[in-house]
Amino acid sequence: MMMLLSSAALLVVNPGETVDSMLNASAEAVELCINLCGIYAVWLGILEILDASGLSEKLAKLLKPIIKRLFKGADEKVHKDIAINMSANMLGLGNAATPYGIKAMKGMDDGSGVATKPMIMLMVLNATSIQLLPTTTIGLRASAGSQSPADIILPTLISTFITCLTGICLVFICNKIFKRKRG
């Protein structure tokens, strides 16, 4: 729908550029995917080692109190993937977190075509991801000639933390509202 709307708008403004920009974006997507393929290969390889050595189970056990509460009704098996996904997110490794997140989502799918509560929670948590170290931003800022590129860490931490809590509360509230509507 978004595409239709934008294309329609373009027809009026600048018809020649429609196809150009679409193809450009698509080429960019290919580039991104090739990059992602490399990143995923490394992290999925390490995940396999984590799994085989039993470390991922330990991590899941460590985070179990949190995960159990946030992802009520999720299968025990998915806990591992969620644990790794959350840890990677916290370290600021968004791209490393993705394959584990996808795996967890797959594991939580009940085939009904409607997102389950734990799935929504995982999605919102990933969208608000707590980031302990905003490395990319600091790097960019330093190269732009900032005097103290790291002085955004504290406000970022506070903001990201509050946002994450807001997200969790929102999902819980929505869960309650929807339950009532269905019942």
Contact 108, 51 (CB under 8 A): no
Q: Is 152 in the site for other proteins (CB under 8 A)?
A: yes
59 binds other proteins (CB under 8 A): no
Single residue of 61, 62, 76, 151 touching other proteins by CB under 8 A: 151
**146 secondary structure, DSSP code:** -
**Smallest separation, CB 87 to other proteins (Å):** 9
Distance between CA atoms of residues 168 and 15, nearest Å: 44
Considering only residues 110-149, where is the footprint of other proteins by CB under 8 A? Answer: 111-115, 119-120, 122-124, 126-129, 131, 133-138, 140-141, 144-149
- Burial level of 94, CB count in 10 A (0-12/13-18/19+)? middle
Separation between Cα atoms, residue 183 and residue 174, nearest integer Å: 14
Residue 121 and residue 136: Cα distance in Å, rounded? 26
Task: Give the shortest CB-66-to-other proteins separation in angstroms.
Answer: 18
Q: Which of 77, 109, 176, 179 binds other proteins (CB under 8 A)?
A: 109
Residues 88-107 that bind other proteins (CB under 8 A): 91-94, 98-99, 101-102, 105-106
Cβ at position 80, least distance to other proteins in Å: 14
Let me know if 155 is exposed, middle or buried by CB neighbors in 10 A (0-12, 13-18, 19+).
exposed
**Residue count, binding to other proteins (CB under 8 A):** 97
Pick from 61, 162, 176, 179 the residue near other proteins by CB under 8 A: 162
